Structure 1
């Protein structure tokens, strides 16, 4: 079931912001420097939190993330990120609550 406040993928009407790609699987691959969950490096994670970071940068970063991730990792990210956008919580956190 979709959140009625969600009109454009990655945006919510209530505050018109792009939702962070963090899906609560925060572990960095030591060889690439990218997070196994969201595919971002530490600098990108920091930039997402800055008030002056533009929506354009965030949208471009989401595109870069999806190009970085492949196979099951990309599928898992897309499924959890979509769930987070529509429900306000990543699938990982949802599953933790249900345990």
Structure 2
């Protein structure tokens, strides 16, 4: 199973239509939720969205996504629980 790239920073850039947190557009978010969406599409989409992100945004995404894969929760949600 491939974990959704949502890292709970759900704000869309009005210029690009991409989420500031995960780099996906609204159509990609919907496709991830479909039962029929296969792992090959998800892997390709992960590569695509990582190419959209750069600098601190890519570093932040990679760190939070890795944490989500390993712990079942994004760093953002983890930090909210600890406040």
Please say whether Structure 1 and Structure 2 have the same fold, judged by a TM-score greater than 0.5.
yes
Give the TM-score of the pair, scaled to structure 2.
0.99
Pairing 1:91–2:51 present: no
Q: Between Structure 1 and Structure 2, how many residues are aligned?
A: 83
In structure 2, the residue matched to 1:73 is 57
- Higher percent of residues as helix: 2
Deviation of 1:33 after TM superposition, in Å, equals 0.1
User: Max radius of gyration: which structure?
Assistant: 1
Where do 4+ consecutive residues of structure 1 move more than 6 Å? none
- For structure 2, the 5+ residue unaligned runs are none
| Equivalent of residue 62 in structure 1, options 46, 68, 82 | 46
Give the TM-score of the pair, scaled to structure 1.
0.83
